[in-house]
Amino acid sequence: MLREDQLAGVELNGYLCEQPVGRGGMGVVYRAKDLKLGRTVAIKVLARAFSSDEKQVGRFKREGKAAARLNHPNVATIHNIDDLEGLHYIIMEFLEGRNLEAVVESDGPLDPREAARFVARVAEALHVAHQAKVVHRDIKPANLFLTNAGEIKITDFGLARDYGADDGLTRTGQIVGTPHFMSPEQGEGKQVDARSDIYSLGCSFYFLLTGKKPFEGDSPIAVMVAHIREQPVLPHEINPKVPPAMSQVVLKMMAKTPEERYPTMAEVVRILGRMEESNAAEPEQAKKCAPEPVRPEPARAEPATGRGLGGSRTGRNKGLERARAIQETVQKSTRATPDMEGGDRREGWRSPTRRMGESGPRAGVDRPRTTGPRSGAGGEPSSYHKRKGSREAGPKRMNPLVPIAIVIGFVALALVVVLLMMK
């Protein structure tokens, strides 16, 4: 029986697998030779463990169909989808180079202008995908490939879902994707749209600029709760080469609710383009192109562990419900196998994020932060503030004088009864 990890030297319907080039959550990618056309291709073979799972096979096939529909220079071309002896695979363009996660891990953060250019190219391609009603759903640096020719290619529309067709995948609460770059609405198992890709691209931008994932934690759930509740350290506070205006663009892409983000990828492309132009002309001008400053809310007193969430009882219950919902979706996740359950073996789940309890400023990094409504929000509290406000409102405490008054009342009543009896 064919095994996905033992295909070197094996022919799959006219394609000779040469050697594995990598392994991901769903299977193994091989460099292979197209025996008819004599060209080199990449073959992504779905793991045998998933080949019997109809949903996984469906999602895998959808990767091929979704990407094949897109004809864009920044999307890896899909040549075909096929299967042999129960193993399903996708034949695609072979990319020579490295994915951006590998680039940053070996060479450190990118030059901010280069990072912004890459992000703009990805945003352009995603805009085309979104117009075709395809959401990627798994945008992360490992799925952004930098070819030796210096081009950026998006891979893995595997989790993409045609949001015109309801196949129920998101509604059943399955989490697909990697928690480090996943939008809050994905983490909560809600239906997602194109703005979820904007969030994930914002997280990827953050990683390219800083070399750090915006949120880390002790478990995948902690990471997802952090996406929902915490604010990241600003990119320019980690890497001083990042212009503060660029940090604001990243933060707006990573806003907690879809409504607070840029409305479309076209808008992301536009703002990055304007920033690039004005950078070239006059660095000061770049500031004018930035969105209204978004000041991160101060970190909160609860650790992102899924325990002890919320302030008042009502708030805490809501927090626990959310954490439970997240936990359920994680447990249901069929892609969770190596990354989600075994943890990230490369870096663990440590966090650069300020947690509650770590309130003091860190030397050379922190500045005093305001606690009022965000500047630029016109004094209108954000949805975050509204949530926070409702949590703080909680049930009222009893006035401590009330029990004393009750006791005095009882004593007085007893005295009256005694006096009456003595009469």
In the set 111, 138, 166, 339, the catalytic residue is: 138
Q: State which of positions 328-367 bind ligand ATP (CB under 6 A).
A: none
Q: Per the structure block, which two tokens stand in for 43? A: 């073959």
Segment 142 to 171, residues that bind ligand ATP, using CB under 6 A: 142-143, 145, 155-156
Q: Tell which phi-psi region holds residue 150, choosing left (phi > 0), alpha (psi between -120 and 50) or beta.
A: left
Annotated active-site residue 167? The verdict is no
Q: What character string, x for contact with ligand ATP (CB under 6 A) and - otherwise, covers 27-56?
A: --x------------x-x------------
CB of 24 to Mg ion, least distance (A): 5
The beta strands (E) that lie in 100-172 are given as 134-135, 144-147, 152-154, 161-162
Q: Which of 25, 258, 296, 303 binds ligand ATP (CB under 6 A)?
A: 25
Among 6, 13, 22, 406, binds ligand ATP (CB under 6 A): 22
- Choice between 87 and 100, CB closer to Mg ion: 100
Say which amino acid occupies 255: A
CB of 76 to ligand ATP, least distance (A): 5
How many residues form the binding site for ligand ATP (CB under 6 A)? 22
Give the residue nearest to ligand ATP (CB): 24
Is residue 94 near ligand ATP by the rule CB under 6 A? Answer: yes
Nearest 5 degrees, angle CA 255-CA 259-CA 265? 80
Q: Give the residue with the Cβ less far from ligand ATP, 76 or 309.
A: 76
The total number of residues shown for the chain amounts to: 423
C-alpha closest to that of 181 among 216, 155, 153: 216
24 in contact with ligand ATP (CB under 6 A) = yes
Please, which residue, 92 or 271, has the CB nearer to ligand ATP?
A: 92
Of 79 and 229, which has the nearer Cβ to ligand ATP?
79
Nearer to Mg ion, 22 or 376 (CB): 22
- DSSP assignment letter at 35: T
CB of 20 to ligand ATP, least distance (A): 8
Which residue ranges make up the site for Mg ion (CB under 5 A)?
Answer: 24, 143, 156
Query: Tokens 């879809």 map to which residue?
Result: 258
Q: Going by DSSP bridges, is the β-strand pair 15-23/27-34 parallel, antiparallel, or unpaired?
A: antiparallel
Tell me, residue by residue from 126 to 145, as one string, x for binding to ligand ATP by CB under 6 A and - for no binding.
------------x---xx-x
Integer Cα distance of 222 and 422 in angstroms: 70
**Could you tell me which stretch among 1-9, 93-101, 197-205, 229-237 binds ligand ATP (CB under 6 A)?**
93-101
Question: Which 3 state secondary structure label does DSSP give 11?
Answer: strand
First to last CA, the chain: 103
| Alpha-carbon span 103 to 211, nearest angstrom | 10
Interaction between residue 99 and ligand ATP (CB under 6 A): yes
Beta bridge partners of 98: 146
CB of 190: closest distance to Mg ion in angstroms?
A: 24
Cα 232 to Cα 352: distance, rounded to the nearest angstrom: 8
C-alpha distances in Å from residue 68, one per residue of 35, 64, 71, 83, 139: 21, 6, 7, 17, 17
Which segment (16-24, 50-58, 112-120, 243-251) binds ligand ATP by CB under 6 A?
16-24
The structure tokens 């953050």 sit at 206
| Out of 17, 45, 76, 122, the residue judged to bind ligand ATP by CB under 6 A | 76
> What Å distances lie between residue 15 and 85, 92, 157, 413, CA to CA?
15, 11, 22, 96
Tell me if 92 contacts ligand ATP by CB under 6 A: yes
Among the residue ranges 86-94, 113-121, 269-277, 350-358, the one whose residues contact ligand ATP (CB under 6 A): 86-94
Cα dihedral 403, 409, 413, 414 sign: positive
Rounded least distance, CB 31 to ligand ATP, Å: 7
Beta-strand relationship, 152-154 and 87-93: unpaired
Known catalytic residues are: 138
Q: Which residues sit at the interface with ligand ATP, rule CB under 6 A?
A: 21-26, 29, 42, 44, 76, 92-95, 99, 138, 142-143, 145, 155-156, 178
